[in-house]
């Protein structure tokens, strides 16, 4: 490969935009004929061993369109929220109009600058907006995933307010109202509604329980501190592995030694 091509590829995370290097057009064409470069998007080229990776395609989109922002599962994966599964398509938001790009789902919208961050040359949505995008596409259970990951409910609300008039937001507002006590599952949402409907007070949701200063035993789904009572709501999806059950038993024994009574609801032995 021509040394100048290699230099430009190294400078741009392995990509080259031929529009910015008109003096290298013959070298680019020669490298393509030799199989040393492949086209990822119109005018955007990469080495063939990296051309199909999610990260390379995402960088190519951002290089081609300075207003483009990667969204959805791809934004989650690139940003470090990796337990949702590797995305099969690249979701991208942009206010610009483009012809169809292979393997890219384009959505016509502008993402507010405050809800964008850059990771290794890729502009992605922040976690709160990513959670909303995923909930719109895949269902409100993605809000549970976001809360379990530690994404703050208030930040999700702020992202919703900053991106108004999107189809499906009315339903998500109702879902966010249900999770105002920070439930981490739909089962917990239902339990909170029942408790509030019955005017039962004195409980805290997902409360950290300490054995001593800075020594956290874990979190209780519903904690009645005055009664020294912990209620755990075991849905089939969240505590389904044998390892989870074993860890729960160890934690429950430790809580009992500290004086807590633990009641588990929902699990079939």
pLDDT in the model for residue 227? 96
- What's 103's DSSP letter? T
- 106-119 residue pLDDT tens: 999 999 999 999 99
pLDDT in the model for residue 71? 98
71: left (phi over 0), alpha (psi -120 to 50) or beta: beta
Centroid of chain to Cα 61? 19
pLDDT in the model for residue 241? 53
User: Residue 94 has which token pair?
Assistant: 């942009």
CA distances, 142 to each of 116, 160, 187, 200 (Å): 19, 15, 14, 28
For the chain, domain boundaries: 3-52, 55-178, 187-265
- Spatial distance between the Cα atoms of 41 and 60, rounded to a whole number of angstroms: 7
Q: Mean pLDDT, 10 residues at a time, over the chain (269 residues)?
A: 84 87 90 92 91 93 95 96 88 92 92 96 96 91 79 90 92 77 71 91 84 77 94 68 74 94 75
pLDDT in the model for residue 69? 98
Q: Is 21 exposed, middle or buried (0-12, 13-18, 19+ CB in 10 A)?
A: middle
Centroid of chain to Cα 261? 35
For domain 187-265, the question of CATH label 3.30.70.1290 is answered with no
pLDDT in the model for residue 156? 93
**Which residues 6+ apart lie within 8 Å of 108 measured at CB?**
93, 94, 95, 97
- 149-188 residue pLDDT tens: 778 888 999 999 999 989 999 988 888 876 665 666 778 8
pLDDT in the model for residue 235? 67
Contact 48/38 with Cβ under 8 angstroms? yes
User: Residue 204 has which token pair?
Assistant: 């805290």
- Spatial distance between the Cα atoms of 11 and 9, rounded to a whole number of angstroms: 5
């Amino acid at each position: 490969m021509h040394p100048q091509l290699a230099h430009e590829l190294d400078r741009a995370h392995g990509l080259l935009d031929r529009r910015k290097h008109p003096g290298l057009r013959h070298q680019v064409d020669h490298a393509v004929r030799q199989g040393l470069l492949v086209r990822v998007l119109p005018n955007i080229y990469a080495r063939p061993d990296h051309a199909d990776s999610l990260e390379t395609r995402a960088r190519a989109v951002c290089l081609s369109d300075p207003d483009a922002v990667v969204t959805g599962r791809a934004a989650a994966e690139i940003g470090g929220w990796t337990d949702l599964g590797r995305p099969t398509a690249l979701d991208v938001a942009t206010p610009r109009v483009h012809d169809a790009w292979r393997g890219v789902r384009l959505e016509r919208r502008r993402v507010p600058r405050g809800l964008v961050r850059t990771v290794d040359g890729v502009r992605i949505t922040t976690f709160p907006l990513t959670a909303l995008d995923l909930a719109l596409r895949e269902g409100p259970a993605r809000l549970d995933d976001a809360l379990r990951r530690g994404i703050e409910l208030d930040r999700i609300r702020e992202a919703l307010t900053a991106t108004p008039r999107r189809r499906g937001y009315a339903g998500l507002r109702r879902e966010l109202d249900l999770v105002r006590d920070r439930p981490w599952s739909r089962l917990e949402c239902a339990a909170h509604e029942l408790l509030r409907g019955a005017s039962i007070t004195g409980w805290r949701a997902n409360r950290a329980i300490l054995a001593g200063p800075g020594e956290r035993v874990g979190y209780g789904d519903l904690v009645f501190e005055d009664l020294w009572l912990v209620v755990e709501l075991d849905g089939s999806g969240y505590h389904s592995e044998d390892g989870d059950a074993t860890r729960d038993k160890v934690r429950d024994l430790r809580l009992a030694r500290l004086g807590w009574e633990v009641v588990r609801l929902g699990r079939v032995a």
